[in-house]
Structure 1
Amino acid sequence: MQTDGLSILIVLALIVFSSPYFSKILRIPIAPVEIILGALAGYLGLIGHNEMFKIVSEVGFFYLMFLAGTEVDLKIFFTTDKKILKLGLLYIAILYALSAFTTFAFNIDKLFILIIPLMSVGMIFTLFKEYGKDKDWLNLGMLVGSIGEVVSIAALTFVGAYMKFGAGSELALTTLYLGGFLALSAGAFKALNVLFWWYPQLRVILMPHYDNAEKDIRLCMALFFSIIALMLYLNLEIAFGAFVAGTFIATFFDHKKDLPHKLASFGFGFLVPTFFVHIGSTFKLNAIFIDGVVRDALLIVTVMTLFRAVSASVFLNLLGFRKTLLYALSHSMPLTLLIAVATIAYKSGGINENFYFSFILASLTQAIIVTICIKILMSYENKNLQKEPK
């Protein structure tokens, strides 16, 4: 259903303003609340298809990935204990192995080898907003999740090109572009590292400590839009490019301590809520009454969460049981990538409409259930801390 822009703006304004209050009343994070309110607005016909609304929501998603990237200092991969990195790679490998075994054992669509291990740090970043940056399980989740997302998006790019073009020259070209972008990013990291080592004052020139012209924000936005243009030109996953761009900000301009807060204030005040509301509005609530949709959605949620909990057991000695469970849950919300894969599979004929609805419902259900579970576990931790003798 087509909806005029004026009604969408009014409804969007009400949801953006009221969602923090609903979040406080319901005691669940704001992101799931915005998704639920978006779904209700869509069901009531207050929000429908609108091209401008869709474009702004996509920008919101890309900006969310950009913000997630600003939490990842690339230098941490060189300073982090090699044992932790090895455990992280083992965790990802086990996750893909379990997915492959399940796919072949139950003779289901091979696409599930990609779907089950999907990772996205977008929702992990929202957990930073909720619980702060001093949680070891959350920092580890962001670190390993960043690696997992690179793997997920590389696989998504390859599979998407295969479904769209088949095994031909276009697929080879897309793979070449992806490899070239990764090589270019690695080269840019090394070049900037050398440049700023020789000329450290250049960082302050580009982003002064005190500046009423907002040069820091302008540079970030220039980088953000430039990377979107590059990914569009190369026909690659824009979210991946936005995430990489954010990591460069975190890596080379860490002297601007207030920058992440300034960027996040704008994002979580407007663009990111628009994305979550749009995601909710695209789901047809009456689809839950279609036979098999809810069952398949719950099965997807259960399998994805269970496999992460099993794979995360490699961190038991490092984190302990409760924090290992929290770590696994933090990776159990690949909201946007799950929707992206479902859309690609549906348009290519790989899955039918009912299964598509199951995937959308699963992605929304994961975001809601997992954030509530994390909330419960964290409240239990806070109670224990209060009981400890001072």
Structure 2
Amino acid sequence: MLESQISFFVVMLGAMLIPFLGRRFRLPGAALEIVYGIVLFNLFVRQRPEWFLLLKEMGFIYLMFIAGMELDLTMIRKSGKSFWYVLVALLSFTLTPLAFVALGQSFYLGLTVAMISAGIVIPVLKESGLNKTPLGQQVIGIALTGELLSILVLTLVDAYHKHGLTILAVLELARLTLLFAGAFLVLKALYILVWWHPERVSRLMESDDPIEEGIRTVVTVAFAGGLLASLAGAEPILGSFIVGMIFSYVFKSKGRFEEKINAIGFGFLIPFFFIGVGAEFPLGLLLSAETVRTAAVLTLAVFASNLSPLLLARPLGVTLLEATGMALLLSAPLSMIVVSGTIGMKMGLVSPTTSGALILTALLASILYPSLFRVLARRFAGDAASSSPPPA
């Protein structure tokens, strides 16, 4: 019992200190959590307790729920460039896997390298002061669109892996669609109900009610999404992402409520997932020249898969330099590479060695490419300042 309590405390202590280190060295917290998990569970804690595995799975599901909540479909639609956002992601998801197959590699590995995520994109843009600029808004739009398509691709791969090109795969996707259509109707009905009682909405989303009825409801909804996906035969995280997306679409104005949702996730549950990813990483792989070499090649492949903004610079309305910045920042999909690798392991499409190389790839890409983008960001900020009119 004491050993379990000590393990829990050490994990939480690392989760507490990592944000300070991340800000100090300008590194993504998730990357440091993975490194902490590698060190802790390979050198100090030899066994992973059952409670840790449970919390890791809960963090995984909640991470994808928050990722779904970040997806602002209305913003993407109103941008007027949603077609080009989709095209950027589609080029990555078609050309990269085909290139991998042509080189004798796994199609699924190519898909994993092509994953796009907004998890690092948005914080880096905010830090650089570019999140409200036209360029920043476009990068966010592409990242969110790519994240949605990443989840849809993983859903299709999951169905194909289980059933192949058969009617059973179609039935699974149809069942999943019907379940989440039902979830949408339930949340929409709930929205209409509380619309007639605005004071109730205020109490749930803005008050300091110590009972936190709204937070309890949303956490339940997040895990209900995972359950719905399991009932449809799909991965639970796919369900939690879709429910998060539906919730964000129905309840557009969330106020401080969203801060509370993020606080539960990033302050408690989600670190268990990333530390758990590191815990499953065999330390010996770091000593393998082949694994390190594979990770270095995959890191370059991640950037190559995100070069499509350079081809679409004109319709996107950006310069080649700005398109290069887009490509660099989109090449840091830490969470989605880890998610895809984790699902690939479950499906038997990714070997433990390849999974280790993917984790190293996620770490390298999430550190290297945002750092290079920050160099360009100074140029973008300078150009924006010089182009702004002088004060009256």
Residues 205-220 of structure 1 correspond to what in structure 2 (within 5 A)? 205-208=200-203, 209-210=206-207, 212=209, 213-220=211-218
Q: Say which SS state the counterpart of residue 307 (structure 2) adopts.
A: helix
Q: For residues 65-115 of structure 1, what are the alpha-carbon distances to aligned partners after superposition, in whole Å with 9 as ceiling and x for unaligned?
A: 32233333333344331xx11111221232233224413432332324522
Residue among 255, 264, 276 paired with 1:278? 276
Q: Which position in structure 2 is the counterpart of 1:67?
A: 66
CA 1:125/1:114 → structure 2, altered by over 3 Å: closer, same or farther? same
Q: Do residues 98 (structure 1) and 95 (structure 2) align?
A: yes
Map Cα deviations across residues 25-65 of structure 1 (whole Å, 9 max, x no partner). 42323222222222221231336423321221222232223
Q: Following the alignment from structure 2 to structure 1, what is the Cα–Cα distance between the partners of residues 207 and 301?
A: 50
The alpha-carbon distance between structure 1 residues 158 and 259, as it changes in their structure 2 partners (threshold 3 A), is: same
Q: Which of 283-292 and 308-317 deviates more?
A: 308-317
For 1:108, what is the secondary structure of its paired residue? Answer: coil
Residue 384 of structure 1 deviates from its aligned partner by 7.0
What TM-score comes out, normalization by structure 2 length?
0.82
Q: Is the 8 A contact 1:69 1:247 kept in 2?
A: yes
Worse overlay, 92-101 or 119-128: 119-128
Q: Partner residue of 2:196?
A: 201
Unpaired runs of at least 5, structure 1: none
Matched, 1:107 2:96: no
Q: 1:275 to 1:112 in 2, by over 3 A?
A: closer
- The aligned counterpart of 1:239 is 237
For residue 75 of structure 1, give the secondary structure of its aligned residue in structure 2: helix
Residue of structure 1 equivalent to 2:117: 120
User: Corresponding residue for 2:160?
Assistant: 162
Matching of residues 1-390 of structure 1 within 5 Å: 5-46=4-45, 48-81=47-80, 84-124=81-121, 126-127=123-124, 130=127, 133-168=131-166, 170-181=168-179, 183-184=181-182, 195=192, 200-202=195-197, 204-208=199-203, 209-210=206-207, 212=209, 213-311=211-309, 313-315=311-313, 318-346=317-345, 349-378=348-377, 381=380
Q: Secondary structure at the match of 2:148?
A: helix
Letter in 2 for 1:201: W
Distance 1:71 1:345, change over 3 A: closer
- Say if 1:29 and 1:130, in contact at 8 Å, map to a contact too: no
- Distance change in 2, residues 1:329/1:220 (3 Å): farther
Q: CA deviation at 1:360?
A: 2.5
Residues 187-209 of structure 1 deviation map (CA, whole Å, 9 limit, x = unaligned)? 6687778x47xx84345534434
1:271 partner amino acid = L
Distance 2:51 2:345 in 1: 23
**SS at the partner of 1:134?**
coil
Using the alignment, how far apart are the partners of 1:178 and 1:8 within structure 2? 38
How many angstroms apart in 2 are the aligned matches of 1:386 and 1:162?
50
What amino acid maps onto 2:88 in structure 1?
Y
CA contact (8 A) 1:36 1:280 kept: yes
C-alpha displacement at 1:18, in angstroms? Answer: 1.7
Deviation at 1:136, TM superposition (A): 4.2
Taking the aligned partners of 2:133 and 2:53, their CA distance within structure 1 comes to 34
| Rounded Cα–Cα distance in structure 2 between residues aligned with 1:230 and 1:370 | 36
- Read off the aligned partner of 1:339 and give its amino acid letter: V
Identity of aligned residues (%): 24
- What CA deviation, in whole Å up to 9, does each residue of 1:121-173 have, x standing for no partner? 34445547756752544443443333333332232223234334555564343
Residue identity matched to 1:155: V
What's the Cα RMSD here?
A: 3.4
Aligned-residue offset at 1:375: 4.1
Q: Aligned residue pairs: how many? A: 383
Residues 114 and 191 (structure 1), Cα distance of their counterparts in 2 relative to 1, 3 Å cut: farther
Query: What is the rounded CA distance, in whole Å, between the counterparts of 2:136 and 2:50 in structure 1?
Result: 36
Gaps in structure 2 of 5+ consecutive residues: none
SS at match of 1:236: coil
Q: CA deviation at 1:218?
A: 3.0
Q: 1:323 and 1:276, CA in 2 relative to 1: closer, same or farther beyond 3 A?
A: farther
Closer/same/farther in 2, CA of residues 330 and 365 from structure 1, 3 Å limit: same
